Amino acid sequence: MRKILAITAFLLSTTAAIAEPGLPEKLDASISPTEMGQWMKFLTNEPSQVSSPFNKTIADWTLAKFKSFGWDAHIEKYDVLYPTPISESVELISAKKVFKATLNEPWTKETPKPKDKWLPAYVAYQGDGDVTAPLVYVNYGMKDDYEALARMGISVKGKIVIARYGQGWRGLKPRLAQEHGAIGCLIYSDPRDDGYSVDSVYPKGPARPAGGFQRGSVQDITISSGDPLTPGFVAGPSKPRLTRETAPNILKIPTLPISYGDAKVLLASLNGQVVPPNWRGGLPITYRVGPSTATVHLAVKSDWSLKTVYDVIAKIDGSTYPDQWVIRGNHHDGWVFGATDPQAGHIAVLAEAKAIGELVKSGWKPKRTIIYTSWDGEEPGLLGSTEWAEDHADELKAKTVLYINSDTNARGFLEAAGSQDFSAFVGAAAASVTDPETKVSVDARLRAKLRLGEGRDKEEAKLAAKAAADPKAVVPIEALGTGSDYTGFLQHLGIPALDLGYGGEAIWGGIYHSIYDSYDHHARFVDPGFVYDALLAKTAGRMVLAAADSDLPLQRPKAFADSVALYVKQVKHLANEKREAAEHQAGLLKDGVFALTADPTKPSAPPRALAPVPEIDFAPLDAASDKLTVSAKAYEAALDKAGASLSQAKREKLFGVMLTIDQTLAPEDGLPGRPWYKHLIYAPGRQTGYGVKTLPAVREGIEEENWAETKTYIPVTARALLAYATRLDAATALLSEP
């Protein structure tokens, strides 16, 4: 109870105001883990992928639920390209015999026995084809792996590659294989990464059994999300569609996922060099790169007709500001039963909707309009959310205060990411909910974790650890790449967005997108008692209430300015590192160091020569980052000074100034080579897939040795930051008016 008051007080003093203290307690009282578990049980009883019978059942059921909770709800449909498999085959053909891969997962009694057939091994938007060629093992199939292969003297041209899942997004693996001339691609899950090495396998334990594999999408989401035939516009009659052949984010080569039970046979057939140590997986074989003397026959044929996705949209109109929208969403389509992904998040959305509905029934009215959404077609390419965002683009850009997304959920720590000017807002909500395992606030537990200083980027982790140790400091949330339904809002429309979920303790990587992502698995291994699913509802629900009712803007831009300053430092450091590496390597190449150190029994070649790094003028970016820091500080100081005593009229005016400030970061022109992505601060990496690249045009220009691009986008990115800072200055001026 005290903690709830604390959040209310915190929001009031630093970020936003909730009209009625006591509201979060009422919200919590309506959220029932038991009921959420029952919903999940129903929602995971049949396969729910796009175009499956149960997919439509879920949409209708969700619609009915929203209505029964008192919401004004309807379904919006889009006809989109979504391929489904007609036939598929993977065979290893040697002189002696033919080995046929099992492309279906063995059923176990712990998962439902569905009426409908579940999807076999398949990745959506692969290229179809019927190819036979020797096999090459490419490790994770990432850029570095191909550089290593080149050094080993191995080309994948005309070959079929086998890559293991992990380290980069699934879709990059066939894309890079295709770019390197491969004619087919297999992706398997190595037991070292998510099978028996990690834990006992399902159903005994949570990890991947030998017959399990990971479905997914290989649509090139780094170019755009949504229907691949309608990038940037809604899938409808307004504008002609592209074709499968002209759509830039559909693959050309056949690709299938396989199990490690089958992969073992294929990998064991490989000849050639032993792989480098970090390429070795957990199968009891000697991993070799190949090529194999036996050939692999890979055939995939799909039905490429349009299918319908069903978005469920529910609304409660705002009493004071009906044209300011707070949007909350989670998808409802799974690859098979989809317990942890997506129903764990979906039942949180439902629980929130029910709880908010009850608040309304009890007489409360949100000041702003609240929109709850249940997206379809997230799995193949964020289809439902993207088409909806494109469909309503202008209205959304004019009205949306914040989009709050969730997807998977598991026990552990709060994993919040998104628009970093909302970091304080997230921290306030996290401070107001209690972690079921440790009984401290979610914020306190997260701060404890950050203090351990673990993280991808060392300096980023260090700064986070420092902020986490000071209870008064705001901890910047992480930046977002892609991988869930926020992308259409955040990166295409520039609308501020948050992605929420708990995780970090349970093991579910091995059942992700497999038939074993079942109610049983979720209830036994991922979130026993559904307490973290309920916690997600409480956390997101608080944010929705605060965003709907706050008199003051939700943004606190200092954490964003700090993050930008760090990113600018990183890209400058990256350029220097690359320069030094290129100079060092040039010396080594000149002196034949690679030839002299090579083992003559193993074919090897010197590495690709790194391009020399020219002088790059980062001054515009430095200046913009400095200006942003100053403006953010001034704004927060002015807000803290004036905030509580501000007149209602001024609050409204201020809110109006800040409502669309985040969109200044996503000007119309977008990113080089992928204009669908507008946001100049956050984007999925071209070479990381889901993983974020901050200051993407500048950073990727350096990474990919495209100096012209870097030089062009330094001022472009700086201008966006300056536009944000200028808008802040306007807000500060407003606050400072007498």
Residues that bind a second copy (CB under 8 A): 191-192, 196-201, 205, 207, 274, 280, 282-287, 412-413, 437-438, 440, 444-445, 448-449, 451-452, 469, 505, 587-588, 591-593, 595-597, 599-601
446 to each of 4, 178, 309, 464, 527, how far by Cα in Å? 18, 41, 37, 11, 18
Nearest distance in Å: CB 284, a second copy: 5
Q: Which is nearer to a second copy, 66 or 165 (CB)?
A: 165
Nearest distance in Å: CB 190, a second copy: 11
Q: Which is nearer to a second copy, 284 or 738 (CB)?
A: 284
Query: Whose structure tokens read 């890559």?
Result: 163
The HSE-up count of residue 87 (CA atoms within 13 Å, CB side) is: 5
Q: Which is nearer to a second copy, 39 or 260 (CB)?
A: 260
Nearest distance in Å: CB 583, a second copy: 12
Residue 479, token pair as written in the block: 């930046």
Q: Which is nearer to a second copy, 90 or 275 (CB)?
A: 275
Nearest distance in Å: CB 599, a second copy: 5
Q: Which is nearer to a second copy, 252 or 449 (CB)?
A: 449
The residue among 721, 35, 659, 20 whose CA lies nearest residue 353 is 35
Residue 558, token pair as written in the block: 């200092």
Nearest distance in Å: CB 582, a second copy: 15
What is the separation of C-alpha 312 from the centre of its chain, rounded to a whole number of angstroms? 21
Nearest distance in Å: CB 138, a second copy: 18
The alpha carbon torsion through 259, 265, 266, 267 (nearest 10 deg) reads: 100
Nearest distance in Å: CB 265, a second copy: 14
Nearest distance in Å: CB 577, a second copy: 14
229 to each of 219, 225, 234, 404, 668, how far by Cα in Å? 11, 10, 10, 27, 21
Contact predicate 329/374, CB 8 Å: yes
Q: Which is nearer to a second copy, 200 or 246 (CB)?
A: 200
Q: Which is nearer to a second copy, 464 or 554 (CB)?
A: 464
Nearest distance in Å: CB 124, a second copy: 31
Nearest distance in Å: CB 35, a second copy: 25
Contact predicate 16/432, CB 8 Å: no
Burial track 161-200 (b if 16+ CB lie within 10 A, e otherwise): bbbbbbbbbbbbbbbbbbebebbbbbbbbbbbbbbbebbe
Q: Which is nearer to a second copy, 445 or 678 (CB)?
A: 445
CA pair distance 65, 61, nearest whole angstrom: 6
- Measured from the Cβ of residue 434, the count of other Cβ atoms closer than 10 Å reads 17
Q: Which is nearer to a second copy, 74 or 458 (CB)?
A: 458
Q: Which is nearer to a second copy, 9 or 444 (CB)?
A: 444
Element of type H or E holding 187? strand 184-188
Bridge partners for 692 per DSSP: 684
89 to each of 34, 255, 301, 529, how far by Cα in Å? 43, 10, 9, 41
Residue 494, token pair as written in the block: 């520039």
